[in-house]
């Protein structure tokens, strides 16, 4: 995919719940701290009706917001602008795998089992499929190619309890299921892999027929940094905006409510601004 040059994106969401009783909520709806310098407008969660809101950085480095929602309709919304290079996801074909004994301490937790990633169950499977391949970038890409070709996508296959082993056995799933399976395969090969979520608009690609949603991808640790991979789309993309990373989807849920909160409305926006509007945003 060719780059399209620097651009401004409009990103945002409008999410509404019906709340039967007061409930504490934690939201991960902010742009990731690593992208804050690219913002061209405030990135603040609007809570209606108004509530006292606190922000903090969790153990994975994500910006979280917590508040107590009162009974009735709860609306969470935001619209902001962010600068993007217009470059596709970077590719480094010669990036090497790092032996476990040489990994940074904070990368080790991305080798272990987690809620949706049963690494121990895949030790033999991953070795049989990918153990004989050259180590490094090409092996992670081989994992992506395999998952992309073997798993069938469909929103009707969504299930909140579905694990990597379920995806492997059933052969179908949604965006997060593709990433969970790829993450688990990588970890079983002793390659640190973490789940990522954020905005991914249809920039530089044909528009998808389905409504915009938050997207999932994953990051693998190779050489000396984390690299973006995407087993669902399996091609470099333009305009990803990271919101959060974690061991799997359970660490980066859009909202976590400690009680009942019934989702009633959900829209996401991620679009490139026309040049005229982008120029005014630069100012």
Tokens 């409305």 belong to 265
User: Which one has a higher pLDDT value, 276 or 57?
Assistant: 57
pLDDT over 80 at 184, yes or no: yes
| CA end-to-end distance (rounded Å), the chain | 29
Name every residue whose Cβ is closer than 8 Å to that of residue 200 and which is 6 or more positions away in sequence: 215, 217, 237, 239, 240, 241, 270
Residue 133 confidence class, pLDDT cut points 50, 70, 90: very high
pLDDT, tens digit, 9 for 90 and up, residues 194-215: 999 999 999 989 988 888 889 9
Q: What confidence score (pLDDT) does residue 2 get?
A: 66
Give the C-alpha distances (Å, rounded to integers) separating 254 from 63, 118, 250, 257, 282.
12, 22, 10, 10, 29
**How many Cβ atoms are within 10 Å of 95's Cβ, its own excluded?**
19
Q: What confidence score (pLDDT) does residue 70 get?
A: 97
Residue 282 confidence class, pLDDT cut points 50, 70, 90: very low
Which whole number is the average pLDDT over 249-261?
97
Q: Where are the alpha helices (DSSP H) in the chain?
A: 123-130, 137-150, 164-170, 175-188, 275-282
Mean pLDDT of the chain: 95
Tokens 């920039």 belong to 203
- What CATH number belongs to 7-86+254-273? 2.60.40.2250
Give me the CATH topology for the region 100-250: C8orf32 fold (3.10.620)
User: Same fold for the domain at 7-86+254-273 and the one at 100-250?
Assistant: no
Which whole number is the average pLDDT over 254-262?
97
Q: Is 133 helix (H, G, I), strand (E, B) or coil?
A: coil
49: preceding bond cis by omega (within 30 degrees): yes
Nearest to 247 by CA among 67, 118, 94, 103: 118
Q: What confidence score (pLDDT) does residue 124 get?
A: 97
Q: Could you give the angle at the alpha carbon of 249 between the alpha carbons of 220 and 147, nearest 5°? A: 55
Q: What confidence score (pLDDT) does residue 130 get?
A: 98
Which whole number is the average pLDDT over 73-96?
97
Q: Could you give the angle at the alpha carbon of 84 between the alpha carbons of 83 and 86, nearest 5°? A: 145
Residue 274 confidence class, pLDDT cut points 50, 70, 90: confident
pTM for this model (two decimals) = 0.94
221-240 burial code (b ≥16 CB/10 A, e <16): bbeeebbbbbbbbbebbbbb
Q: Is 69 helix (H, G, I), strand (E, B) or coil?
A: strand
Domain ranges of the chain: 7-86+254-273, 100-250
* Burial grade of 205 (CB within 10 A; 0-12, 13-18, 19 or more): middle
């Amino acid at each position: 995919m060719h780059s399209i040059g620097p651009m401004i994106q409009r990103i945002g969401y409008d999410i509404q719940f019906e709340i039967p009783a007061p409930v504490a909520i934690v939201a991960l709806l902010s742009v990731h701290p690593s992208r804050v310098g690219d913002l061209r407008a405030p990135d603040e969660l609007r809570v209606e009706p108004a509530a006292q809101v606190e922000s903090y950085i969790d153990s994975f480095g994500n910006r979280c917001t917590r508040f107590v929602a009162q009974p009735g309709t709860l609306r969470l919304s935001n619209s902001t602008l962010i600068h993007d290079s217009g470059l596709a996801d970077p590719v480094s074909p010669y990036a090497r795998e790092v032996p476990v004994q040489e990994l940074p301490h904070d990368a080790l937790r991305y080798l272990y089992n987690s809620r949706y990633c049963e690494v121990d169950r895949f030790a033999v499977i991953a070795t049989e499929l990918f153990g004989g391949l050259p180590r490094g970038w090409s092996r992670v890409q081989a994992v992506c190619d395999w998952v992309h070709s073997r798993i069938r996508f469909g929103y009707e296959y969504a299930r909140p309890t579905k694990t990597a082993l379920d995806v492997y056995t059933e052969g179908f799933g949604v965006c997060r299921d593709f990433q969970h399976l790829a993450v688990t395969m990588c970890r079983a090969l002793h390659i640190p892999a973490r789940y990522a979520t954020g905005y991914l608009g249809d920039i530089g690609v044909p528009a998808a027929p389905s409504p915009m949603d938050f997207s999932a991808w994953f990051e693998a640790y190779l050489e000396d940094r984390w690299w973006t991979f995407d087993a669902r789309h399996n091609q470099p993309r333009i305009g990803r905006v990271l919101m959060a990373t974690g061991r799997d989807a359970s660490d980066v849920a859009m909202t976590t409510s400690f009680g009942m909160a019934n989702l009633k409305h959900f829209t996401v926006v991620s679009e490139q601004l026309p040049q005229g509007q982008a120029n005014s945003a630069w100012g």
